[in-house]
Chain A
Amino acid sequence: MMPEMMPEMMDESPDDFRARARRWLRDNVPTEHPPVDGPESRAYALAWQQRQFAGGWAGLTWPRAYGGRELPVLQQIAWFEEYARAHAPSTHNALFVGMNHAGPTLIACGSDEQKAFHLPKIMQGDVIWCQGFSEPNSGSDLASLRTRGEVQGDELVINGQKIWSSYADIADYQELLIRTDPASSRHHGLSWVICPMDAPGITVRPIKTMAGPAKFAEVFYDNVRIPLANIVGGLNNGWKTAMATLSFERGTASLALQISLSQRVEELIAACDDVALGETLMDLRADAAALRAMSYQFAIKSESGPVGSEGSMIRLYFAELAQRVARVAIDIFGIAAPEVLAVHGLGYDYFDAYSETIAGGTAEIQRNIIAERVLGLPRGSR
């Protein structure tokens, strides 16, 4: 179903678009804090997505054919800027995978049937997606993964184990990377599969993070049967599809978060009256401005097609800046401030930020990619 009130945004001036976004956010941003895990976090995230969709603010750059608005990325940026200004719920929630890399992967590599079935559900806030790439012994070395899928008739029979699958305990679907050619090794013979999380044989064990919530999960597959029609990008061609996923995860997926980080820095500057922190804060402001410039340039360039590995530079810059901002926030308020000590306060943000340089490829992997694929340096030994 298309959202109500759909003015022709393409004809709207940038200022009018921004003003309308600001008004809508003022009237619609939830006042209650998002729950951090469990069924409550699912309900909250879906309800917020549904509200954005109904208002015409979901899938701004997604294809019209599947319910998106197909707007220029500059309008997406304006929306994210207003979104951050309005203190709307962080996009780093249970919807992150669906909206930011599963959905874009389907747009880039999925069949028409897959797009028609899944994209509207993601956009409308009907479903949660999670990722199933990493395994206990295949983290940075993703190509060594062992979870296997055996082709039996028109189905895959999947056995194995995935880990660090955020929100798997509340997800409806998983972007699952498995080995479908038993004779293959490394990045050959893999397939990217849409895995319904309610399929018989799936067991999910939530894992508590050091920041408190049970955000991660381990997923076990015991003879899980999935139709071959759920393969995205072709049987045994999963590495290529996975690279598309990772290019989104390391590229435009964090755009909203990058913009909100800039907003956060400005809020810290406004909250601080300690001149001793002035130099640190101005360094953060410069870094945040540089990050925004890089992000915007990359996002606009991405409109014309795949941009390559430059996204890793921005992802890494963002990750390390996010950690520094979380650190300085505590310095400003003091370790014993209620804002810091609260269970989901700035202390939580600080410990949560450690994951920024690990998730979606560690900082070390990102640096290898940048060195080899962007700077053209020789590949070192692995």
Chain B
Amino acid sequence: MDYDFTEDQAAILGGLEQLIGSLNIEPPKDAVFSAYSQPLDDELTAGGYLDITSQEGFGLLDGALIVEQLAQLPVSVEAATSVLIAPVFLEDTTRRPVAILAGALTKPARFLPMAKTLLADIGDDLLRIEIPEGAVEEVATLFAYPYGRLKNPENLPRVSLGSAQLPTFRRRWRIAIAVESSGLMQSALNLVLEHVKTRQQFGRPIGSFQAIQHRLVMAAELGQAVRWLGLRAAWSDSESDAAIAATFAQDAIPRFCTDLHQFCGAMGLTLEFPLHHWTYRLRALLGELGGSSAQAIAAADATWGQK
């Protein structure tokens, strides 16, 4: 097993880091509802980062590394679907951003306000819907991603991709949940580690208290576990690995977020402290595709077959 980046992977991630650095992205001020970065999306598209999995010599794992790095930013961009899911189902991959949803077409979905395509798991079919201008109404939320809802889904032309495509769609979605969660968790943890090193109470940094150290160590363990399970799932692209990775991520997020906010005290509960830029999104991912119990059932199905 080789856990080091290949030369190509290191070069891509280095290039991505440079690109991000050139945009000078700061945590948005007072961005309660959504912090979507169109300039970042434009640069990623121009740089070919979002169709990496279609390029010669690159695969899903390389795409996962990109998605993970982008998730570390304090702003959101529609990358996980474009990189990890859409290439399987879109004839024209330039018709992005791509939104995904499971259930009724009237449900809100992440990135729908700017999406050009929607992939919808309606239970017995996977639909591809091209989104015309004006077809979406925005939905205000606290989950940092832009959410929207189709105004009149029955009027939109759709392509049936067939129920046989659903396992792949769901598998890739689970990989995306784990990988994106990993990036969000890394940034959130780093922010809190800095805070507990500098915030003093009782005459010493609060990070020197054992009770806090122990729980932050456990948070770091959760973050590492989510990371490696997600990357493994991207590497194998297997049903079982994907379901296990998503189950673990969605189980870990509540414990992780609770501890991180706890150790930032009241300051961490305000919009003046940037932690929410990552934890809002983690909360959204925690509930995707039915939540951890649904992923655990999928993992059991992958092991024993559907009963």
Interface residues of A (CB under 8 A from B): 134, 137, 139-141, 144, 163-164, 207-212, 216, 274, 276-277, 280, 323, 327, 330-331, 334-337, 340-341, 343, 347-348, 350-351, 354-355, 357-359, 362-364, 367, 382
Q: In whole angstroms, what is the CA distance A334 to B109 when docked?
A: 12
The answer to whether residues A336 and B109 also contact, given A323-B258, A363-B262 and a CB cut-off of 8 A, is yes
136-177 of chain B: CB within 8 A of chain A:
139-143, 147
Q: List 20 A-B contacts (CB under 8 A).
A: A139-B265, A141-B202, A207-B270, A208-B30, A208-B32, A323-B258, A331-B293, A334-B103, A335-B288, A336-B109, A336-B287, A341-B139, A341-B141, A343-B141, A350-B283, A351-B280, A355-B266, A358-B262, A359-B266, A382-B203
B108 at the interface (CB under 8 A from A): yes
Q: In whole angstroms, what is the CA distance A2 to B140 when docked?
A: 46
Q: In whole angstroms, what is the CA distance A85 to B291 when docked?
A: 30
Per-position 1/0 for B8-46, Cβ under 8 A of A: 000000000000000000000010100000000000000
Q: Which residues of A lie under 8 Å from residue B218 when comparing CB positions?
A: none
- Select from chain A the residue with minimum beta-carbon distance to B290: A334
B114 at the interface (CB under 8 A from A): no
Q: Which residues of B lie under 8 Å from residue A354 when comparing CB positions?
A: 258, 261-262, 268-269
One of A144, A343, A382 near B142 (C-beta < 8 A): A343
* Residue among A164, A216, A341, A355 with the highest chain B CB neighbour number at 10 A: A341
The answer to whether residues A208 and B287 also contact, given A354-B261, A363-B262 and a CB cut-off of 8 A, is no
Q: Which residues of A lie under 8 Å from residue B291 when comparing CB positions?
A: 331, 334-335
Q: In whole angstroms, what is the CA distance A350 to B270 when docked?
A: 14
The minimal Cβ–Cβ distance linking A121 to chain B, given in whole angstroms, is: 28
Per-position 1/0 for B186-227, Cβ under 8 A of A: 000000000000001111001001011000000000000000
B101 at the interface (CB under 8 A from A): yes
251-307 of chain B: CB within 8 A of chain A:
254, 258, 261-262, 265-266, 268-272, 275-276, 279-280, 283-284, 286-288, 290-291, 293-294, 297
Q: Which residues of B lie under 8 Å from residue A164 when comparing CB positions?
A: 266
Q: In whole angstroms, what is the CA distance A363 to B211 when docked?
A: 11
Among all A-B residue pairs, the 10 with the closest Cβ atoms? A335-B287, A276-B293, A382-B202, A210-B276, A141-B201, A164-B266, A341-B141, A208-B271, A354-B261, A336-B108
The minimal Cβ–Cβ distance linking B17 to chain A, given in whole angstroms, is: 28
Q: Which residues of A lie under 8 Å from residue B206 when comparing CB positions?
A: 140
Q: Which residues of A lie under 8 Å from residue B261 when comparing CB positions?
A: 354, 358
The answer to whether residues A210 and B266 also contact, given A277-B293, A347-B143, A364-B212 and a CB cut-off of 8 A, is no
A335 and B265 contacting across the interface, CB-CB below 8 Å: no
A163 and B293 contacting across the interface, CB-CB below 8 Å: no
The minimal Cβ–Cβ distance linking A218 to chain B, given in whole angstroms, is: 10
One of A209, A335, A358, A363 near B271 (C-beta < 8 A): A209
Q: Which residues of B lie under 8 Å from residue A348 when comparing CB positions?
A: 142
A212-B142, A354-B262, A364-B209 are known contacts; what are 11 more A-B pairs with Cβ within 8 Å?
A: A137-B200, A139-B201, A144-B201, A207-B270, A208-B270, A209-B269, A210-B269, A276-B294, A335-B291, A341-B139, A364-B211
One of B108, B202, B265 near A341 (C-beta < 8 A): B108
Q: Which residues of B lie under 8 Å from residue A277 when comparing CB positions?
A: 293
- Select from chain B the residue with minimum beta-carbon distance to A344: B142
- Select from chain B the residue with minimum beta-carbon distance to A320: B258
The minimal Cβ–Cβ distance linking A117 to chain B, given in whole angstroms, is: 31
96-142 of chain B: CB within 8 A of chain A:
101, 103, 107-109, 139-142
The minimal Cβ–Cβ distance linking A371 to chain B, given in whole angstroms, is: 11
Q: Which residues of B lie under 8 Å from residue A212 when comparing CB positions?
A: 32, 142
Q: In whole angstroms, what is the CA distance A274 to B206 when docked?
A: 42
The minimal Cβ–Cβ distance linking A3 to chain B, given in whole angstroms, is: 37
Interface size on B, residues (CB 8 A): 46
Q: Which residues of A lie under 8 Å from residue B211 when comparing CB positions?
A: 364, 367
The minimal Cβ–Cβ distance linking A239 to chain B, given in whole angstroms, is: 16
One of A327, A335, A362, A363 near B143 (C-beta < 8 A): A335
One of B262, B275, B283 near A347 (C-beta < 8 A): B283
- Select from chain B the residue with minimum beta-carbon distance to A351: B142
Q: In whole angstroms, what is the CA distance A144 to B206 when docked?
A: 15
B266 and A134 contacting across the interface, CB-CB below 8 Å: yes
* Residue among A139, A211, A212, A335 with the highest chain B CB neighbour number at 10 A: A335
The minimal Cβ–Cβ distance linking B115 to chain A, given in whole angstroms, is: 14
Q: In whole angstroms, what is the CA distance A280 to B292 when docked?
A: 12
Q: In whole angstroms, what is the CA distance A277 to B211 when docked?
A: 31
A211 and B200 contacting across the interface, CB-CB below 8 Å: no
One of B32, B141, B266, B272 near A358 (C-beta < 8 A): B266
Q: Which residues of B lie under 8 Å from residue A358 when comparing CB positions?
A: 261-262, 265-266, 269
One of A210, A337, A382 near B270 (C-beta < 8 A): A210
The minimal Cβ–Cβ distance linking B113 to chain A, given in whole angstroms, is: 13
The answer to whether residues A216 and B147 also contact, given A139-B201, A141-B201 and a CB cut-off of 8 A, is no
Q: Which residues of A lie under 8 Å from residue B142 when comparing CB positions?
A: 210-212, 343, 347-348, 351
Q: Which residues of A lie under 8 Å from residue B108 when comparing CB positions?
A: 336, 341
71-109 of chain B: CB within 8 A of chain A:
101, 103, 107-109
The answer to whether residues A327 and B254 also contact, given A277-B293, A335-B143 and a CB cut-off of 8 A, is yes
The minimal Cβ–Cβ distance linking B2 to chain A, given in whole angstroms, is: 36
The answer to whether residues A336 and B101 also contact, given A208-B271, A343-B142 and a CB cut-off of 8 A, is yes
A276 and B297 contacting across the interface, CB-CB below 8 Å: yes
B262 and A357 contacting across the interface, CB-CB below 8 Å: yes
The minimal Cβ–Cβ distance linking A366 to chain B, given in whole angstroms, is: 11
Q: In whole angstroms, what is the CA distance A351 to B209 when docked?
A: 26
- Select from chain A the residue with minimum beta-carbon distance to B104: A336
The answer to whether residues A362 and B101 also contact, given A209-B270, A334-B287 and a CB cut-off of 8 A, is no
* Residue among B200, B266, B286, B293 with the highest chain A CB neighbour number at 10 A: B266
B141 and A347 contacting across the interface, CB-CB below 8 Å: yes
Q: Which residues of B lie under 8 Å from residue A141 when comparing CB positions?
A: 201-203
- Select from chain A the residue with minimum beta-carbon distance to B277: A210
Q: In whole angstroms, what is the CA distance A276 to B32 when docked?
A: 32
Q: In whole angstroms, what is the CA distance A280 to B297 when docked?
A: 15
Q: In whole angstroms, what is the CA distance A258 to B34 when docked?
A: 33
